[in-house]
Amino acid sequence: MSNKKNHNYLLSDLTKLKGVGNKIANLLKKKKVNTIFDLLWKLPKSYTDRSKTSNIEDLKIGEVQTVNIIPYKYNFPRVRNLPNRVLCKDDTGNLDCIFFNSYEGYIKKILPIGKKVVVSGKIGFFRNKYQITNPKYISEDSSVIKIKHNQYSLTEGITEKLYNKIIKQIIKDLPKLDEWHSKEILKNFNNISWHDSINKLHQPENVGKYKSSFYERLAFDEIFSSYLVHSEIRKKIKKIKKNKKLFDLDKQKELIKKLDFKLTKDQMKSLNEVNKDLISNQKMFRLLQGDVGSGKTIVALIASINVINSGFQVAVMAPTEILARQHYLLAKKLFKSSIRIDLLSSKSEYKDKKRILDELNENKIDLIFGTHSIFQKKVKFKNLGLIVIDEQHKFGVNQRKKLSDKGGNNCDVLLMSATPIPRTLTMTIYGDMDISIIREKPQSRKEVKTYTKLETKIDDVIKFIKKEIDMGNQVFWVCPLIEESKKIDHSSVIKKYKFLNEIFPNKVGLLHGKTDQIEKELILNNFLNKKYDILVSTTIIEVGIDFPNANIIVIENSNKFGLSQLHQLRGRVGRGHKQSTCILMFKSSLTENAKKRLRILKKTNDGFKISEEDMKIRGYGDILGFKQSGLKTFKLADPILNENLFFIAEKEIKRIENSDEDISRFRTLMKLYDQADIINDIV
């Protein structure tokens, strides 16, 4: 069958290509190039223009150049390791072509004595003579040399020549696929087709033309296909019919009245969005996103009580035991004995655990808190109606989808994340979920005051924290590394611990990456219970834990941290009513970027704004741990460079969702671009 309209060619194995056997295919597979389609995105880094020829006397040593020559003598030493040599000349001088590992027959064929030939290669100079080693693109006829030559970043074992040959072959056989975009969308890209765009993408003179129609169209294809897949997953989850949750809103009102604060507008809005999902007959799959301290917990707990009032059980999962316990205690305080609440902890005694498991299975517990342990197979719920997952941002799409399947059809899912992400990335990362955002922070909250301090002024810092400790406040002291490293100029927590312990004897706790989980929780509990005034640590304390008395955070070597990470660290204080302070210590001679980061932190406490700035400084793909989380790494699209494309894609996907348009025309797009398992049952 002809390839002309069929995308299957693009998804076929590399060995289908001429010149590619198993050996070459395996080399490429190691670089995650599995199909012909994958090869399309291996773009030339630069190209060499070999179309201009030069006289021998004008050659520039070290550069790749093309030259017209006449071979006049073969020099084939029959000694191993000595190269074969062809002496050549033009009217202006002499040049040797050197061949390693080439057969004489081949050399004679391409460089016949007395005939004009064009060769190209890197010009060397040896024993007073120009030379080219293993010359390329040898032609008998200078008019053939119109080659502008792509330089790809090569995989070991694959020559540039082969690579160019392969790509040429693919471009030649590139199928003309039916257009998947609407006319309206195509207008954004001067109506260029996918086929033509790929063609242009590989034309040497187009290297780096990121703002051209062909480039933007292809970037858009990528973005849009990922939105489509997300949208399909969301639709699929929404199609799951569940029993509506029926509850009395008066009870919610009563509870809200009893709080010692007023819910913010965003909290109310988010709660209403959640409630709307709960009372619908579609399964909820929602993300509650809000900066540290924006008050997500209370929203989740009120939603939980609504679910419980409608006769279901609720499970709340936290990333650590200590956080699970804090939530548990808060719920106990809030709901008193009106419902049955429990905590499933690894520290619980065996008989307690068994009792809890039994009671969950018998619907005797309404609200259970725990770590991921509450999703073990042996934990069986009688009537689970809502799963709340706190502080997740490291789950990828696949993990989330599994989660949503977990509780069964009647179980709604609410995820919470304190990691603000740039606006452009929201759909990329969370497009499979509905999203509620809490932007404004409680008004009672005092902004954390942020100062920068030169490391040499540590005495001032000590003086300051002494005063605060005397008032009953506590201090986090954060250092970047666990052990003194000679190479990297980071300060060590252990050294700092010793230093501070001399000034504040027996009042300093130490926590680092090598502390095991049980000990870590113990130390954190000790800090919570004010056994320590200062906690020296690396960056390992999770966000989310409330340390009501800790209102100072000192961050050493702050210039070594990313912006978002500094913001997250800062978020460990400033959750209570006290005035909190963040002191960013730094060594002298900061880089421009480091200065920029510190300036932004001083200026704003808004995590969303900070994430935008962070992305601009660091670039996409490097933002706060999303790398490990299965964040889609685009081949061309760049959320900074192509920001507008992300917005066009978002608008288009919403339009399609609302219009119930048939999406089968995007089948090829999705099959090509998203070869993930997750879509197998969609397209």
**Chain positions contacting Mg ion, by CB under 5 A:** 544
CB 327 to Mg ion: min, Å: 8
β partners of residue 550: 474
Identify which of residues 121 and 544 has a Cβ nearer to Mg ion in the complex.
544
Identify which of residues 545 and 649 has a Cβ nearer to ligand ADP in the complex.
545
Q: Which one of ligand ADP, Mg ion, none interacts with residue 542, CB within 5 to 8 A by kind?
A: none
CB 202 to ligand ADP: min, Å: 48
CB 566 to ligand ADP: min, Å: 17
Residue 521: what residue type? E
CB within 8 Å of 502: residues ≥ 6 apart: none
Identify which of residues 352 and 546 has a Cβ nearer to ligand ADP in the complex.
546
Identify which of residues 147 and 298 has a Cβ nearer to ligand ADP in the complex.
298
Indicate the pairing of strand 341-344 with strand 84-89: unpaired
Are residues 386 and 412 in contact, defined by beta-carbon separation less than 8 angstroms?
yes
Residues 568-627 interacting with ligand ADP (rule: CB under 6 A): 575
Residue 261 near ligand ADP by CB under 6 A: yes
Structure tokens at 195: 């086929």
Helix residue spans in 431-562 (DSSP H): 458-470, 493-503, 517-528
Q: Which one of ligand ADP, Mg ion, none interacts with residue 546, CB within 5 to 8 A by kind?
A: ligand ADP
Helix, strand and coil percent figures for the chain, each rounded to 5: 40, 20, 40
For residue 413, the tally of other CB atoms under 10 A from its CB is 22
CB 541 to ligand ADP: min, Å: 13
Please give the Cα distance from 44 to 149 (Å, whole number).
Answer: 9
Span of 121-129, 231-239, 255-263, 268-276 interacting with ligand ADP by CB under 6 A = 255-263
Please give the Cα distance from 364 to 407 (Å, whole number).
Answer: 17
Residue 479 phi, psi dihedral angles, 5° rounding: -120, 150
Identify which of residues 10 and 324 has a Cβ nearer to ligand ADP in the complex.
324
Count of positions on this chain that bind ligand ADP (CB under 6 A): 19
Tell me the three state secondary structure of residue 25: helix
CB 552 to ligand ADP: min, Å: 18
Residue 315: what residue type? A
CB 463 to ligand ADP: min, Å: 29
Residues 401-460 interacting with ligand ADP (rule: CB under 6 A): 418, 442, 444
CB within 8 Å of 14: residues ≥ 6 apart: 20, 24, 25, 28, 29, 33, 34, 35, 36, 39
Please give the Cα distance from 612 to 643 (Å, whole number).
Answer: 11
Residues 289-328 interacting with ligand ADP (rule: CB under 6 A): 290, 292-298
CB 334 to ligand ADP: min, Å: 10
CB 291 to Mg ion: min, Å: 10
- Which candidate, 228, 51, 10, 223, places its Cα nearest to that of 137? 51
Identify which of residues 244 and 262 has a Cβ nearer to ligand ADP in the complex.
262
Residue 545 near ligand ADP by CB under 6 A: no
Structure tokens at 316: 């709340």
Span of 79-87, 200-208, 263-271, 525-533 interacting with ligand ADP by CB under 6 A = 263-271
Tell me the Ramachandran region of residue 617: left when phi exceeds 0, alpha when psi lies from -120 to 50, beta otherwise. alpha
Q: Which one of Mg ion, ligand ADP, none interacts with residue 320, CB within 5 to 8 A by kind?
A: none
Cβ-closest residue to ligand ADP? 295
Q: Which one of Mg ion, ligand ADP, none interacts with residue 562, CB within 5 to 8 A by kind?
A: none
Please give the Cα distance from 567 to 577 (Å, whole number).
Answer: 19
Interface residues with ligand ADP (CB under 6 A) are 261-264, 267, 290, 292-298, 418, 442, 444, 544, 546, 575
